[in-house]
Amino acid sequence: MSAITQLRLKQRPSAWSELVRRLQHGDVIFRLLTVIAGLLVILVAIAIGYELWQNSALPRAAFGLSFLTGTNWNPVTEDFGALPFLYGTLQTSLFALLIAIPIGLGIAIFLSELAPEWLRHPVGFMVELLAAVPSVIFGLWGLFIFVPVVVKPLGQFLNSTLGFIPIFQAPVFGPSRLAASLVLSIMILPTLVAISRDVFLAIPQAQREGALSLGATKWEMITQNLIPYGLSGILGAVILALGRAMGETMAVTMVIGNNLDLTPSLLHPGYTMASLIANEFTEATSDLYRGALIEIGLVLFGLTLVVNIIARILVWRVARRIPMEARA
């Protein structure tokens, strides 16, 4: 606090009159307000976990840990297992990462190392606009345009060339985990690009000059110096993008085909945890059914929480080493 307050504290007439004076001063109230607002934010974060835990008590008691490994989801017999959806979430988001990482890093490199000054802002702005498009509009576009035009032919191609691998097994569907993965890869691109671009921009110029002066080509400079230097930040970006992909709901719900069965193939329709909740929550008639859906939410919450904490630690570590603004 300011020097003035310290001066006043030294005189300290009496505790009571000091308190009255400070109350009249207004700062105590202001401070209290800020503390309350801050505590509210923390409280909400905790309350989300608590509510999910409390409201999923029924299925947790009924199924225990076998909830996570059960492959059946049958509201009629009230038999619930989350494995197909865990698999769907992990498969789609990891596959989305696989596609998005090279493209996202490419754009980040383009924006930070290659693009002329006048091109950086417009391209960066376009990527931000992509982030602003609502999920449900991605879904609409995916459902009516992207799936029939791109996903179906691509699925048939993958099946005819790589069909011997279980994840590319026939039959080929339009709305499928592949469709969800592709749409997700577009949706997580902005996160990846924004953070990894900031990481690249924060790398000291000397790193580049050193590499170039030793005769490295620009590409060698990027792969041998910049990427290792900013690796933890880039990893942070990738993991944050993974978190976004796992929680993405509307677009996935609209293109994934909504199928409860556990099949390995990427070309089959499936369900992610988020899309299952979106689709069935309002139809949940019994308490156990709704509880099971909330427990799916709990699992999803736990997964994204872990992923986000890891990502934050990675990004914070870079931020502490080199001054930068890493915001997601």
Partner 1 sequence: MSRMETAFSPIRAARTESSLHYRRRQWVNRIMLALCGVAAVIAFIPLVWILVYVIQRGYRYLNLDFFIQQPTPVGVPGGGIFNAIVGSAIVVSIACLISIPISLIAAFYVYERPNTVLGTLIRFSTDVLSGVPSIIMGIFAYTVIVLTQGHFSALSGGFALAIIMTPIVLRTTEEMLKLVPKTLREGSLALGAPDWRTALHIMLPAAMTGIITGIMLGVARIAGEAAPMLFTAFGNPFLSTDINQPIATLPHQVYVYAISPYRDWQDKAWATALVLIGIVLGLEFIARGVAAWQQRRLRVR
Residues within window 247-276 making contact with partner 1, judged by CB under 8 A: 247-250, 254, 274
Q: Which two tokens stand for residue 37?
A: 């607002």
* In the complex, minimum distance from the CB of residue 25 to partner 1, in angstroms, rounded to a whole number: 5
β-strand pairing of 73-74 with 79-80:
antiparallel
Cα separations (Å) of 86 from 97, 104, 119, 210? Answer: 16, 25, 41, 46
Q: Is 47 in the site for partner 1 (CB under 8 A)?
A: yes
The single residue among 6, 282, 320, 323 that binds partner 1, judged by CB under 8 A, is 282
CA angle 206, 210, 211 (to 5 degrees): 120
* For partner 1, the closer CB: 48 or 167: 48
Count of residues binding partner 1 (CB under 8 A)? 98
How far apart (Å, rounded) are the C-alpha atoms in residues 233 and 163? 37
Q: Is 41 in the site for partner 1 (CB under 8 A)?
A: yes
* In the complex, minimum distance from the CB of residue 149 to partner 1, in angstroms, rounded to a whole number: 9
Query: Rule CB under 8 A: which of 58-77 touch partner 1?
Result: none
Query: Rule CB under 8 A: which of 304-323 touch partner 1?
Result: 304-305, 307-309, 311-312
Residue type, 141: W
Q: Is 85 in the site for partner 1 (CB under 8 A)?
A: no
How far apart (Å, rounded) are the C-alpha atoms in residues 142 and 149? 9
Query: Rule CB under 8 A: which of 172-191 touch partner 1?
Result: 186, 189
String marking each residue 127-166 x if it binds partner 1 according to CB under 8 A: xxxx-xxxxxxxxxx-xxxx--------------------
Query: Rule CB under 8 A: which of 209-248 touch partner 1?
Result: 214-215, 217-220, 240, 243-244, 246-248
Segment interacting with partner 1, rule: CB under 8 A, options 1-9, 62-70, 159-167, 201-209 = 1-9
Segment interacting with partner 1, rule: CB under 8 A, options 62-70, 77-85, 90-98, 99-107 = 99-107
Segment interacting with partner 1, rule: CB under 8 A, options 44-52, 159-167, 171-179, 227-235 = 44-52
Q: Is 53 in the site for partner 1 (CB under 8 A)?
A: no
Q: Which two tokens stand for residue 263?
A: 């099949």
| 160 sits in which H/E element | helix 152-162
The single residue among 82, 86, 97, 107 that binds partner 1, judged by CB under 8 A, is 107
Q: Is 325 in the site for partner 1 (CB under 8 A)?
A: yes
How far apart (Å, rounded) are the C-alpha atoms in residues 175 and 10? 73
**CA-closest candidate to residue 76, choices 260, 278, 253, 297:** 260
Segment interacting with partner 1, rule: CB under 8 A, options 11-19, 72-80, 103-111, 153-161 = 103-111
What letter would DSSP give residue 257?
B
- 3-state DSSP assignment of residue 270: strand
- 3-state DSSP assignment of residue 172: coil
The single residue among 10, 12, 320, 327 that binds partner 1, judged by CB under 8 A, is 327
How far apart (Å, rounded) are the C-alpha atoms in residues 74 and 79? 5
**CA-closest candidate to residue 22, choices 5, 38, 7, 37:** 5
* For partner 1, the closer CB: 186 or 266: 186
**CA-closest candidate to residue 189, choices 309, 105, 93:** 105
How far apart (Å, rounded) are the C-alpha atoms in residues 288 and 301? 19
* For partner 1, the closer CB: 33 or 165: 33
